[in-house]
Amino acid sequence: MLAGLTYSAVDKELLEELNAVKEIIHDYNSLRPSETQKRLEILKGLLGHIEDDEVIINQPFYCDYGKQISVGRRFFANFNLTILDEAPVTIGDDCFIGPNVSIYTACHSTDPIERNTREEWAEPVTIGDNVWIGGSVTILPGVTIGDNVTIGAGSVVTKDIPSDTVAVGNPCKVIKHIDR
């Protein structure tokens, strides 16, 4: 799965791992807002890498495995972040994610016969430093978003977005270059 090769989505070991993570996510999402230290402890045990203690992921939060997710310094995500991390999801420093954002790495065949075999593959997502992702954005498998990027609310990111840009729409396209 992590190598990007085809794997069975109904593999017994994978399903057991998914269910174990669902238990952790349930506990995380059930915490009181004042339990910030417990929230951080759960995230440190769940995510693959957290650069510092200044990580905030507002509940509810959902992911498949957690351990394929890496976040940089001063990471903030608002309500309803969903990350399907069948492949690595790497997020840089000073990234801010609006509410209802989805990041997908799992890929499925468009052929219904192949899709019904439950065979799938995954492609990593990489988000650079100093990125703002607006509310209700969807980021598809295999996408890289460069540094210093703003993704407008409601966008569907289907292809790479270069550094120092503002991009919006469905499909998401660069509308402005930022002079630095």
Count of alpha carbons within 13 Å of 112, Cβ hemisphere only? 0
From 26, 49, 108, 177, the catalytic residue: 108
DSSP conformational letter for 60: S
- C-alpha dihedral, 92 to 96 to 102 to 105, nearest 10°: 0
Secondary structure element (H or E) that encloses residue 26, with its range: helix 12-29
| Phi, then psi, of 8 in degrees rounded to 5 | -90, 120
What is the SS3 string spanning 12-23? HHHHHHHHHHHH
| Residue 160 to residue 157: CA distance in whole angstroms | 8
108 is catalytic: yes
Residues taking part in catalysis: 108
